[in-house]
Amino acid sequence: THTHTSGCTVDWFHPWPEDALISVAEKILGAKTTVIGSADLILPVARLCMGVHASVEKASRTFMLRMGRNYYVTPTSYLELLKLFLTTLESQRGIVQGNISRYETGVRLLKETGQKVKELQADLIKLQPQMKQAAIDTEKLLEKLKVDQKIAEETRQSASKEEAAAAKLAEQCDTQAAE
């Protein structure tokens, strides 16, 4: 028991030995091997949890000596530590797995895009001679159009002169007919 100026507290909790802490952790963690990831990790993680719990017990004793207040570190606290560890680990694995999935999808899409780019480059290389020939044909067609336009303009001018001459002749005919 610990006596305080504010009352009396009965300490019913006895610290568990390290072997018991490790054993309990191994049993609980062993039941969640899928969360842990590998049976080889159970003992090291159990030792880590035992170490955390033992350090909290030590800090609790130091707190009692310095502050005169007791912070209880119970077997339930240890079980809560294990539960929190498993919950956090499972949550983080989900996040990491989601990131891995997104990265794998991104890599797959990059590879597919790279392959399509290579195919398009190959197609462009194959089409270059046709594109060059099409450019030559287009240039020839433009030159022919210029010549045709010149001929058409000359023909239009000639037709325009002939039309003016015919109009003048028609006018003379109309004048003679009127006379």
- Distance in angstroms (rounded) separating the CA atoms of residues 24 and 78: 9
Residue 66 Cα distances to 1, 59, 61, 62, 108, angstroms: 18, 10, 9, 6, 59
Task: Encode pLDDT of 70-92 as tens digits.
Answer: 877 788 888 899 999 899 988 99
- Distance in angstroms (rounded) separating the CA atoms of residues 130 and 135: 9
Task: Encode pLDDT of 86-132 as tens digits.
Answer: 999 889 988 999 999 999 999 999 999 999 999 999 888 888 888 88
Phi, psi of 31 (to 5 degrees): -75, -15
pTM of the model: 0.53
